[in-house]
Amino acid sequence: MNYNDIEQALRNYYWMVNQVERLERELSNIEISIIPPYGLEASMPKANQISDKVGKTVIKRDEESRHLKKLKAKIALIDSGLKMIENDLEKSVMLCMMDGLSQFQISQHFKISEGKVSSIKSHIVKKMNEMNVLNDLKILAK
């Protein structure tokens, strides 16, 4: 992930957590109402598309599973970044961002300028980007 990806993940953290919870619930449910076709209709050739409910459900669940994995990786990156932030104001700003507050709302909450909030956010993302680059180098060194 690069600087912009990390910034986007931090900005989207709040809804990503909610989406992960929803996807996990959905993937844990097993749909019993899906009955494959039977009889003469089942043996007839189909076009080059999957037209049965079972196939469509499998494809949908596979896409949801991949999306879930991607979101979890982004969330884990942000969570690990939070652990490395030691400055109290930076940590507080990051927690507010993770809770879905806008830069304006954060500036109002802490009674600091939006420019200061933007600067703090940029510093946080820069630190996380450096951490991510270092982790990538460690993986390559192995």
Distance in angstroms between the alpha carbons of the first and the last residue of the chain: 19
Quote the domain boundaries for residue 100. Answer: 3-30+53-141
Find out whether 128 and 136 touch, Cβ atoms under 8 Å.
Answer: no
Cβ neighbours, 10 Å, residue 108 = 13
State the DSSP H helix or E strand holding residue 142, giving kind and residue range, or none if neither: none
Is 37 within a domain? no
Of the ranges 34-43, 80-89, 129-138, which one carries the lowest mean pLDDT score? 34-43
Report the domain count for the chain. Answer: 1
Placement of tokens 């709302």 in the chain: 105
CA angle 6, 126, 10 (to 5 degrees): 30
Is 67 within a domain? yes
Is 47 within a domain? no
Choose between 56 and 105: higher pLDDT.
105
Rounded to two decimals, the pTM is 0.75
Distance CA 29, CA 65 (A): 13
Find out whether 16 and 69 touch, Cβ atoms under 8 Å.
Answer: no
Q: Per residue in 128-139, pLDDT tens?
A: 998 877 676 565
Is 11 within a domain? yes
Q: Per residue in 53-76, pLDDT tens?
A: 777 888 888 999 999 999 999 999
DSSP code of residue 112: -
Is 43 within a domain? no
The CB-based long-range contact list for 16-19 (8 Å cut-off, 24+ gap) reads 16/71, 16/74, 16/75, 17/75, 19/71
Instruction: Indicate the SS3 state at residue 133.
Output: helix
Is 61 within a domain? yes
Over 90: is that where the pLDDT of 98 sits?
yes
Is 65 within a domain? yes
Q: Would you list the DSSP string of 33-67?
A: T-----THHHHS---SS--SHHHHHHHHHHHHHHH
Is 112 within a domain? yes
